[in-house]
């Protein structure tokens, strides 16, 4: 597979994504801190805030990876009854399971192997369903949104943190330059996985614009969908209500 997104089939993409995250798992967190200049924690903090989960609520963090959003939610909302971090790449979750051993309320976080296209949860069971940096990687955005909406309770929230397709502007062009030229070199140096960090900017180029993702969320049955642009318009945080 080349990282230019020329997958021959959905199965090929699905397999590549799964194996690629298994390879970068040990260095995933450090690369995130470097690429975002240490800002990514703030985005996840805002994501949890915007969910406005009810007291003693429940949260699904699908594509939890090493658990950054899940950990942020139990830190920010110690009252939550349960947080489920789910992912289809077990090595990512294994890294996550060894993080923050002293964190209070850690027992409220459960880890689950799951594919976002076929979530192993009942209808209407979480007050919030979130994903961070998942949607570029899925083979069917509409089916993914439909299943996330299905497992969310009525009046619950679905939130998505993602890197949308860069804007056609001077800043968008500068961001593309950084993303396509600096990030793969950094990724190669830090994680030894240049192809994974070449795939990353190509996946953003091929992804939806913020307004298009909003429309897709509305199509899945979510209402009051709105989004906030972060990091000078390079990151989008979408929230909708079931
Ligand atoms: C860029 S990481 C994001 C991890 C974490 N959410 C964060 O904010 O750092 C993307 C994660 O999505 C997971 N993923 C991709 N496709 C998936 C799928 N179909 N089902 C479940 N997880 C998936 C990958 O295994 C990976 O852990």
CATH of the domain at 73: 3.40.50.150
In a domain, 115, yes or no: yes
Ligand 1 atom closest to 139 (CA): 19
Say whether pLDDT at 1 is over 60.
Answer: no
Q: Which structural domain range is residue 93 located in?
A: 10-164+208-241
Q: How confident is the model at residue 2 (pLDDT cuts 50, 70, 90)?
A: low
Is residue 201, in this structure, part of any structural domain at all? Answer: no
User: Does pTM surpass 0.85?
Assistant: yes
| Sign of the four-CA dihedral 132, 133, 138, 144 | positive
Kindly state whether residue 176 falls inside one of the protein's structural domains: no
Q: From CA 73, how far away is CA 80, in angstroms rounded?
A: 8
pLDDT for position 5: 65
Buried/exposed code over 76-85 (b: 16+ C-beta within 10 A; e: otherwise) = bbeebeebbb
Number of domains in the chain: 1
Cβ of 88 less than 6 Å from ligand 1:
yes
5 within some domain: no
Residue 41, domain member (yes or no): yes
Judge whether 43 lies within some domain: yes
pLDDT digits (tens, 9 = 90+) for 124-178: 999 999 999 999 999 999 999 999 999 999 999 999 999 999 998 898 899 999 9
Atom of ligand 1 nearest to the CA of 93: 27
Distance between Cα 104 and ligand 1 center (Å): 25
Per the domain annotation, does 189 fall within a domain?
A: no
Q: Tell me the pLDDT band of 4, cut-offs 50, 70 and 90.
A: low
Binding site membership of 133 for ligand 1 (Cβ less than 6 Å): yes
Substitution candidate for ligand 1 out of 87, 129, 236 with most atoms within 8 A of CB: 87
Asked if residue 159 belongs to a domain, the reply is yes
């Amino acid at each position: 597979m080349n990282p230019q997104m020329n997958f021959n089939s959905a199965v090929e993409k699905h397999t590549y994504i799964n194996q690629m995250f298994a390879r970068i798992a040990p260095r995933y967190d450090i690369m995130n801190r470097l690429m975002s200049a240490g800002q990514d924690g703030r985005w996840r903090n805002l994501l949890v805030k915007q969910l406005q989960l009810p007291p003693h609520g429940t949260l699904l963090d699908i594509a939890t990876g090493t658990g950054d959003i899940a950990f942020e939610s139990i830190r920010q909302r110690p009252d939550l009854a349960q947080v489920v971090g789910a992912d289809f790449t077990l090595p990512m979750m294994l890294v996550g399971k060894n993080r923050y051993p002293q964190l209070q309320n850690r027992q409220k976080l459960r880890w689950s192997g799951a594919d976002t296209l076929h979530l192993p949860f009942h209808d209407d069971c979480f007050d919030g369903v979130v994903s961070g940096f998942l949607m570029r990687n899925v083979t069917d955005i509409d089916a993914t949104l439909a299943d996330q909406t299905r497992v969310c309770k009525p009046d619950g929230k679905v939130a998505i943190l993602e890197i949308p397709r860069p804007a056609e502007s001077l800043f968008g062009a500068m961001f593309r330059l950084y993303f396509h030229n600096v990030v793969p070199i950094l990724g190669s140096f830090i994680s030894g996985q240049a192809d994974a960090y070449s795939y990353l900017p190509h996946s953003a180029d091929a992804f939806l614009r913020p307004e298009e993702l909003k429309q897709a969320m509305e199509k899945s049955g979510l209402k009051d969908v709105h989004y906030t642009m972060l990091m000078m318009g390079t990151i989008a945080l979408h929230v909708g209500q079931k």
